[in-house]
Amino acid sequence: MATVKDQLIMNLLKEEQTPQNKITVVGIGAVGMACALSILVKELADELALFDVMEEDKLKGEVMRLQHCSLFLKTPKIVSGKDYHVTANSKLVIITAEACQQEGESPPNLVQHNVNIFKLIIASVVKYSSNCTLLIVSNPVDILTYVAWKLSGFPQNRVIGSGCNLDSARFCSLVGERLGVHPLSCHGWVLGEHGDSSVPVWSGVNVAGILLKNLHPALGTDADKEQWKEVHRQAVDSASEVIKPKSYSSWAIGLSVADLAESITKNLRRVHPISTMIKGFYGIEDEVFLSVPCILGQNGISDVMKVTLMPEEEARLKKSADELWRIQKQLLL
């Protein structure tokens, strides 16, 4: 007896179900799920895969949350699994997985713990998606992007750290708040290492092409009576301010990652402040990853913008590079 489907539909063509624009998220915690939902809302993939080593029931529950939104989304296939086979044929693999710091665990030991996790993740991802682009979100993002590059054997253009993309967005948002202007009309960069030692490029902050430094030469300095340095401090501290009451921060990073994924999957060639191998720039001689403005498209990072920095900005970038290299030299890859 014919099934309802057979009575309703006459098949005319046997199609291969190989995805053309598959995105995988590795690590389905709060950040991973925020990335997944943001990617779905922006309609960037024809298949979204979620991978995690969490309990099967919890993983199933997380993917069901997204599948039940299918009527409102345009991604036809959402899958999940604890076997890396689910990641096969991905165009873009986003890694958010990271170790939680244990009580009494030193920062160097935590970094090495994450390196050990990455050894398994990267080898498995490369096995099933050898032509993918890797987008690293896990922290410390600059060091782990370097680790992913070393472990994968991929060319540097295809190993990208989310870096200061969100730092710069927060920075522009706070500049806009001070000026009463929408953040999209405020242009400025936060470069270098993601986090406390990031470098705000005050010399380039502008609205409608008008450099704020020309209007207020003391901008961002200790002599600045308007205390614009507070904008960068607030941008750096904002994540911890969110984490204090909630224990985690996810929505902003999810949207930031989806913004990067859009530039890659749609070959937009937009400029983003993201973490890339910076050896040879600004007097840096070691293999470290730091955020600089990069053109991002279907092949990953195709170009790096030659931003002119003030001497003090360049010195801070170099200091971050030296500290990262000191840590990286001690890692067991």
Pairing of strands 289-297, 300-304: antiparallel
- Let me know: does 275 contact 263? Beta carbons within 8 Å: no
- Let me know: does 52 contact 28? Beta carbons within 8 Å: yes
DSSP codes, 259-303 = HHHHHHHTT--EEEEEEEE-TTSTT--S--EEEEEEEEETTEEEE
194 assigned to active site: yes
Instruction: Give the integer Cα–Cα distance in Å for 101 and 300.
Output: 31
Instruction: Give the integer Cα–Cα distance in Å for 162 and 312.
Output: 24
Which of 194, 216, 232, 272 is flagged as catalytic? 194
- Let me know: does 176 contact 202? Beta carbons within 8 Å: no
Q: Beta partners for 206? A: 187, 211
Which residues does the annotation mark as catalytic?
Answer: 194
